[in-house]
Structure 1
Amino acid sequence: MATDRFAQAETGAWVGIIGNILLAGLKGVAGFFSGSHALIADAFHSASDVAGSFAVLVGIKAAKRPPDRDHPYGHGKAESIAAIIVSVLLLVVGLELLISAIKAIYGGHVDIPEWYALAVLLLSIVVKEGMFQYKFRLGKRLSSQALIANAWEHRSDVYSSIAALIGVGAAMLGGKFRMSWLLYLDPVAGLVVALLVLKMGYTLVMDSIHSTMDHVLHDEEANPLIKAVQTVDGVILVDELRAREHGHYVIVDIKISVNPVLTVAEGHSVGKRVKQHLLQQFLHVADVFVHINPFDPGYPIQGQQQDVRDRSPKWLQ
């Protein structure tokens, strides 16, 4: 199952690399010969996506390495680090595009784009939206932060291509009807593209950093784990559960209450059943550490609202 997951993730990364190389080259050549600042800016955006997809590929390859002595929890956070790299690349490219667009607007020199600039942008929008849908759904299915971040790179390219399309179209109309002010909408579209890229990069980098810093699952995500443990024979209460995200998988730390008259061996057996149950029921759970507590009726119950007596053994009621 794990091998299949990484194979699919690597395929997704390669789709992004090859698709972005082709689009960046096509948009760069068309932008240069058509004289469109917006299309050239969009080409640089696609080029940044190539670097982002390479970062995702490296992160995925690192994440699939098994746990070792120095990394007993595995290498899953390599994907989160790759997502941070992708996000930073977006910020850098966005800043460069912003500076270039401002120079074009205040430089006073704008050209009338050729018709094929529009055709390339329309093709880019269709291809990039298809890549976004593919990568986003794959990333969700595989719980890959890096793939999801890379998917949003493609979506930001869709938005930038739409902005460039409007700018190029307006500039062409301005040249045809001798309305010089419309020519400036091409570099203005490049400015809009830059702002969109910066916003996307900022959002992704903050999300990626949040996930990298030992983020735990929220209640709505942890509650299914708690309910599953409550069905295990020998478990009276789930006192506490923390599920830490490590890229595409989670490590669960759980405290459970058992009958205080059980022997150490019997309590250990209950803990083993809890671990095996979670590993079998939830594919994203990679490891479980169980702490056994003697049952205490006054202990607060995590994720439950019912009376403690509802879960108490008969010998305490």
Structure 2
Amino acid sequence: MSTEERFKKAEQAAMIGVIGNIVLAVLKWLAGWYGNSKALMADAIHSASDVAGSLAVWIGLKAAKQPPDEDHPYGHGKAESIAAIIVAVLLFLVGIEIGISSIELFFHPLEAPTTIAIVVVIVSILVKEGMFQYKYRLGKMLNSDALIVNAYEHRSDVLSSLAALIGISLSMLGGYFHIEWLVYADPVAGVVVAIFIMKMAWKLGYDSIHNTMDHVLHEEEAMELRKIAASVPEVKKVDELHAREHGHYVIIDLKISVDPNMTVEEGHRVGKKVKKELLKVPHVYDVLVHINPFNPDD
């Protein structure tokens, strides 16, 4: 798959997320309002935050596909990871807001939700799980941190909707059987949703920050790249290899040893051979090769 095709698919997925989240947020808010469900209205806020998240991903993808320039000779791939961090921060803030609004409800009299709230929650769960599966698989296929984090936004919405469904159901049972304390299952579900959202946002944010700090592939992940470099006949030894992640691609810093009696031109040709072989690996964007004279006593 070409780079252009990759970004086209990723941007399409981000826009599907924007449109889907707008529709669900409006639907849940109206159903929560008319159905008297505070948990569903909190869930609507969650879906609305996903709109901002999907937009951040879309903007990040737009920036990431820009070609290298004088200020960014290694490309703009990290824009995807930055977008993922923004999404994680937004998600965490929404979790705090949902938690506060749900706790406040314990100090006010409540009425049990109506049936429309349950119907809309079930529809939301089905739609959001479908969006999660779509974006997660596409994110894995395209090696996109931003899409994967955005997919987990949808999964968090699924789980928050499940919590809302349980809370709404228990609250309705409380109203039906005149069990007053059970009516408060609705805001309890809101608190559970908030805690889960903040926990997920923290993990996703941590992983994205890790990837922006010039994270290199671990030894076992880089082993195949070492083997490719060592397969060039003139290479006596691969002294050092660091594969730095830049969003969906990697840039390799490599030191190899060659025959010390080679001319500078011959050594340069070996370096070009090694670079050519490594660039055949789909996710390798650039290779920087340093030539060392081989010393068997080292």
Paired residue for 1:126?
A: 126
Q: Which deviations, in whole Å up to 9, do the C-alpha atoms of 1:178-235 show, x marking residues without a partner?
A: 1111111100000001111111111111111111111111112111111111112211
Q: In the alignment, what sits opposite 2:234?
A: 234
* Displacement after TM superposition at 1:82 (Å): 0.4
Distance in 2 (alpha carbons) for counterparts of 1:249 and 1:74: 10
- Count of residue correspondences: 297
For residues 152-163 of structure 1, the aligned pairs below 5 Å read: 152-163=152-163
| Letter of the 1:130 counterpart | G
Instruction: Return the letter of the residue paired with 2:282.
Output: L
* Residue ranges of structure 2 left out of the alignment (5+ in a row): none
2:72 is matched with: 71
**Structure 1: 5+ residue stretches without partners:** 300-317
Equivalent runs, 1:26-41 vs 2, <5 Å: 26-41=27-42
RMSD (Å), alpha carbons: 0.9
Matched, 1:207 2:207: yes
Matched letter for residue 213 of structure 2: M
> Which residue number corresponds to residue 111 of structure 2?
111
Q: SS where residue 279 of structure 2 aligns? A: helix
Q: Deviations over 1:208-266 (max 9, x none)?
A: 11111111111121111111111122112111100111111111000011111111111
Tell me what 1:290 maps to. Answer: 289
Q: Please give the residue correspondences for 1:153-302 in structure 2 after superposition, counting only pairs within 5 Å.
A: 153-280=153-280, 282-299=281-298
State the alpha-carbon separation in 2 of the partners of residues 163 and 52 from structure 1: 22
User: 2:57 aligns to what?
Assistant: 56
User: Which amino acid in 1 is paired with 2:71?
Assistant: D
* Aligned residue in 1 for 2:146: 146
- Please list the CA deviations of residues 265-316 of structure 1 after superposition, one character each: whole Å capped at 9, or x if unmatched: 1111110011110111x111100000011112344xxxxxxxxxxxxxxxxx
Q: TM-score, normalised by structure 2?
A: 0.98
In the alignment, the residues of structure 1 paired with residue 182 and residue 189 of structure 2 have an alpha-carbon distance, to the nearest angstrom, of: 11
Aligned mates of 2:285, 2:97 — CA distance in 1 = 41
Question: Matched residues in 2 for 1:24 and 1:297: separation?
Answer: 67
Deviation above 4 Å: which 4+ runs of structure 1? none
Any idea what SS the aligned residue of 1:184 has?
A: helix
User: Comparing 18-27 with 229-238, which one deviates more in the overlay?
Assistant: 229-238
TM-score between the two structures when normalised by the length of structure 1: 0.92
Deviations, residues 96-153 of structure 1 (Å, cap 9, x unaligned): 0010011012x13222111111111111111111111110111111111110110010
